[in-house]
Amino acid sequence: MKILVMSSQASNTGSALRAYYLAKYLKKFEPSTEYLAPPFVSMPLMADFILSFFFYFFALLNKKYDVVIIVKPYPNTVLPAMLLKSGGARLVIDIDDLDHGYRDGAFSSFIARLQHRLVKTADLLTTHNRELMKLIIRENPEYKNRVYYLKQCVDAEFFTGSRAAQAKKIRKEHEGFKILFYMAHLNIAAYLDEILCAVGKIEEQDVRLIVAGGGPMEAYYRKKVKKLGMANMVVFTGQVTQEKAAAYACAADLCLVYYADLPVNKYRASMKLREYLGLGRAVVATEVGEIGDFKGFIRTCRPTPEAFADAIEKALAKNGKNKDAKPFIHREYNWKTEAARFLNYLKGIV
């Protein structure tokens, strides 16, 4: 069975990473599996979506697949994939977020209507959040028996071990500071404003926040840090490799996850939370949506900067390890196991 996995979003996004992991592990069982993502990072005004439409259109000409899996329903991938569907491919659309929920007004309504139409082209829908799965079925009742729960997982081959040498080097670079670490694609879903507010409220002045990741709002956040007078407390790494991001997490005294108390966050599944825990790190997170499922392994708090600051201060009194979480994550959220399960399901419907 020839499978193609595509990402609607640019190569430096969490959505593209989900597509990459899925393709990587499907390929272990189905060697003909291919992964395709735009060869550029996300751009302001969503310009990358326009460019990627032409990239995908020409990349898929004269190609043939049995299954095409698209992560996020956007025209830049769905429309070119319709060429493949006309050639006999089964189309799978993965809905990994409630994208319109991050915006307001007419633009939000436009995205909601657009994606609702694009979803109707799929033979099968997948999602990583049980609540989102229920919503998808409510809004698309004809897919009641065609929505598959595809977990948000961890690359167990990668997110394991301590990376002791790299972590030691990073800690030496920030000697004298307790390190807080946050990794994200810096866009409207990042909530770094709230994290910066929380860090600014921490009474201990020997705290340093390392922010790993690029994105369309990186310049905005860099300017904001200077404006807040927090230049000595916050370090931006820009876009980094996965290896480097994992090393920063291992060097940190505490890793951070912040979701605001908004309806859209009820439907998310945090990749960074799973990866932090897969590395055995201590984590502070706001208790919103599915984050509550991990309460036994992390310190949670109300979704306010004040509560988050208090939780950080309390957690810093502990060591930066969380060994109990590692076996749980690698057992319950393992991409190899999940890909094998999903492939068996696909073989039953193709």
Strand-pairing partners, residue 95, are 127
Residues 26 and 106 in one domain: yes
First to last CA, the chain: 9
Rounded to 10°, the helix 105-119/75-86 angle is 10
Residues 340 and 311 in one domain: no
Residue 159 maps to a domain: no
The residues near 297 (Cβ < 8 Å, ≥ 6 apart) are 277, 283, 322, 324, 325, 328
Question: Which residue type does 35 have?
Answer: Y
Mean pLDDT on 223-246: 94
Residue 316 maps to a domain: yes
Residue 158 maps to a domain: no
Residues 189 and 318 in one domain: yes
Buried b (16+ CB within 10 A) or exposed e, 181-196: bbbbbbbebbbbebbb
- Parallel/antiparallel/unpaired status of strands 234-238 and 207-212: parallel
Confidence of residue 2 (pLDDT cuts 50, 70, 90): very high
pLDDT at residue 104 in the model: 86
Q: What gap in Å lies between CA 13 and CA 186, rounded to an integer?
A: 9
pLDDT of residue 45 exceeding 80, the answer is no
Q: What gap in Å lies between CA 221 and CA 27, rounded to an integer?
A: 38
Sign, CA torsion 211/270/274/118? negative
The residues near 347 (Cβ < 8 Å, ≥ 6 apart) are 1
Residue 49 maps to a domain: yes
Mean pLDDT on 204-208: 85
Query: Mean of the per-residue pLDDT values for the chain?
Result: 93
> Taking the model in full, what pTM does it have?
0.93
Residue 340 maps to a domain: yes
Confidence of residue 312 (pLDDT cuts 50, 70, 90): very high
Residues 291 and 344 in one domain: no
pLDDT at residue 101 in the model: 86
Residue 133 maps to a domain: yes
Confidence of residue 46 (pLDDT cuts 50, 70, 90): confident
Residues 29 and 53 in one domain: yes
The residues near 211 (Cβ < 8 Å, ≥ 6 apart) are 182, 183, 184, 186, 192, 221, 234, 235, 236, 237
Choice between 256 and 62, residue whose per-residue pLDDT is larger: 256
pLDDT of residue 191 exceeding 80, the answer is yes
Residue 143 maps to a domain: yes
Residues 221 and 235 in one domain: yes
- Parallel/antiparallel/unpaired status of strands 283-286 and 299-301: parallel
Q: Name the burial class of residue 143, with classes exposed (0-12), middle (13-18) and buried (19+) by CB atoms within 10 angstroms of its CB.
A: middle
Residues 128 and 237 in one domain: no
Residues 201 and 343 in one domain: no
Counting the structural domains of the chain, the total is 2
Residues 317 and 169 in one domain: yes
Give all strands of the β-sheet with 147-149 in edge-to-edge order.
34-36, 3-7, 67-71, 90-95, 124-127, 147-149
pLDDT of residue 319 exceeding 80, the answer is no
CATH of the domain at 338: 3.40.50.2000
Instruction: State the CB neighbour count (10 A cutoff) for residue 239.
Output: 16
Confidence of residue 321 (pLDDT cuts 50, 70, 90): low
Q: What gap in Å lies between CA 69 and CA 5, rounded to an integer?
A: 5
- 55, 128, 130 from 266: Cα distances, Å: 33, 12, 10
Closest CA to 52 of 32, 33, 78, 34: 78
Residues 193 and 146 in one domain: no
pLDDT of residue 41 exceeding 90, the answer is no
Task: Give me the domain span that covers residue 278.
Answer: 164-330
Residues 51 and 133 in one domain: yes
Residue 140 maps to a domain: yes
Q: Name the burial class of residue 284, with classes exposed (0-12), middle (13-18) and buried (19+) by CB atoms within 10 angstroms of its CB.
A: buried
Mean pLDDT on 314-338: 87
Rounded to 10°, the helix 271-278/14-29 angle is 60
Closest CA to 289 of 312, 320, 268: 268
Residues 124 and 36 in one domain: yes
pLDDT of residue 320 exceeding 70, the answer is no
